Structure 1
Amino acid sequence: MKLRLFPQEPAGLVLLAQMAGVIVAATGTLSEILGAPASEHQRLAEELHEHESKSLDLHFALLTHMRTSFVNPLPREDMYTLSRHLNEAMEKLDAAGDLVALYKLDRLPKRAADQLEIISRQAELTVDAMRKLEDLDELEDYWIEILRLAKRAERSHRIWVAEMLKDMKSTQFARHRDIANQLVEVTKDMRKVATQVGSIIVKES
């Protein structure tokens, strides 16, 4: 039997999908930063700041919508939690780009690109999942795949840190580790979104 919540006002789901879409766009900008010369970093970091500002605007728009709408597609606390995790993921992506610019790093290891690929995939799946929150039968595979990607990211992070520890001097290691930590935290925030979706599935089944 289909699990369906019959939302009267699905605008909140649209806002959540838009927040995930901002993360997709921001991942593209951060990928540009990793491949750009240091002279371009500040301009691209400003572009990331714009993505972060848009995410925050969408987060506040969702809060306003929930306060003023009569019927929401999900319990308000669930929608707020999803929005908060998405916004926190965007904040950490923005921080990673800021650190690359502030540290004036010309190159990062391939592991950084691997992590961004995982984040981008998580975000793309999440855009689709947010649009389908009114039909929960569609979302079990999403939940499982995001958890799989998060585990892959955490393993990649451990290997990245071990490689840096072996190959870099202490100051260089500290700078690269800061960025590595921000990126893996983004994957964890995306995992929190999926875990919240899993919780919704369980509650509504």
Structure 2
Amino acid sequence: MKLRLFPQENKALELLTEMAAEFHHGVSTLSEILGTAADGRDRLVEELHERDGRLSGLHFALMTHVRTSFINPLPREDLFQISRYLVEGGEKLDGAAELIALNGVTRFSDRASEQLEVINRQTELTRDAMGRLESLEDLDEYCIEMLQLAKRSERTHRIWISELMRDYKPAVYMRHRDVANQMIGATQDLRRVANHVGQILVKES
């Protein structure tokens, strides 16, 4: 653990942890949407809209905090960048839910569940990692596992799109493809969080 010459204010890390936890809850909500009949989705879609709004609110709370706090656990630009990636990933989860509702997407491929499993694990790891940014302990393992999950997600996405092209007519294919693209986008934003944590590790070592 690194020795610090000055006391640290941990509110920013608490906000990042809360953001990752909100993201994690959003994955559970999207999973419920996939398993719910079309006429029962409205409440869940609205719930995910609200979670997306809370993520944005936490992001702006973090911006305000780091601008007004004299002491921060990490450079302001690093805290902002991680927060921004979490917000963007949450927006893509929300986008997937909205597209499912707007386009009446049904009969999801098993690949959708595989992607949700990856995103769920990514958010668990990220939530735990945010609380360790002060000490930077055990974050190498986080970065490595996130890379492995990202590779798995990319492969699942390629297979999913290939299967959609083979099994569906163009209009149905495009509706499912748009949802798949939102979900892979969420995994990529979480990978960006891990990549930025890796940059911090290199910079602070």
TM-score greater than 0.5 by the shorter chain: yes
| Superposition pairs of residues 134-149 of structure 1, within 5 angstroms | 134-149=134-149
CA distance in 1, matches of 2:80, 2:147: 21
Q: What letter corresponds to residue 17 of structure 2 in structure 1? A: A
User: Which stretch shifts more, 105-114 or 120-129?
Assistant: 105-114
**Contact 1:35–1:107 (CA under 8 A) maintained in structure 2:** no
Determine if the alignment matches structure 1 residue 112 to structure 2 residue 108.
no
Structure 2 CA distance for aligned equivalents of residues 8 and 106 of structure 1 = 49
Task: Give me the whole-angstrom Cα distance separating, in 1, the residues matched to 2:37 and 2:2.
Answer: 50
1:160 aligns with 2:160: yes
What is the one-letter code of the residue matched to 1:3? K
SS in 1 for 2:71: coil
User: 1: distance between equivalents of 2:72 and 2:137?
Assistant: 19
Cα distance change on mapping 1:7 and 1:19 into 2, 3 Å: farther
Against the structure 1 CA distance between its residues 110 and 158, is the aligned structure 2 distance closer, same or farther, given a 3 Å change threshold? same
Contact 1:41 1:101 in 2 (8 A): yes
Contact 1:7/1:134 (8 A) holds in 2:
no
Taking only aligned residues, the RMSD between alpha carbons, in angstroms, comes to 1.0
Looking at structure 1, the residues matched to 170 and 187 of structure 2 have their Cα atoms a distance apart, in angstroms, of: 26
1:162 maps to a residue whose letter is: S
- Normalising by structure 1, report the TM-score: 0.97
| Aligned position for 2:69 | 69
C-alpha distance in 2, partners of 1:110/1:36?
15
Match of 2:131 in 1: 131
Quick check: 1:4–1:134 contact (8 Å CA) kept in 2? Answer: no
State how 1:80-99 maps to structure 2 within 5 Å: 80-99=80-99
Instruction: Give runs of ≥4 in structure 1 deviating > 2 Å.
Output: 2-7
1:56 match: 56
Deviations 1:2-50 (A, max 9, x none): 3355652100000000100011100000000000000112211100000
Counterpart for residue 19 of structure 1: 19
The AA in structure 2 aligned to 1:11 is K
How far did residue 166 of structure 1 move?
Answer: 0.3
Instruction: Report the identity percentage.
Output: 53
Q: 1:4 to 1:149 in 2, by over 3 A?
A: farther
Q: Do the aligned residues in 2 keep the contact of 1:36 with 1:106 (CA within 8 Å)?
A: no
Alignment partner of 1:10 is 2:15? no
Identify the residue that residue 197 of structure 1 maps to in structure 2: 197
Instruction: Give the whole-Å Cα distance in 1 for the aligned partners of 2:202 and 2:115.
Output: 30
How many residue pairs were aligned? Answer: 204
* Residue 184 of structure 1: how far off its partner (Å): 0.3
Give the 3-state SS of the residue equivalent to 1:136 in structure 2: coil
In structure 1, runs of 5+ residues without a counterpart are none
Rounded Cα–Cα distance in structure 2 between residues aligned with 1:106 and 1:162 = 18
Q: TM-score, structure 2 length as denominator?
A: 0.97
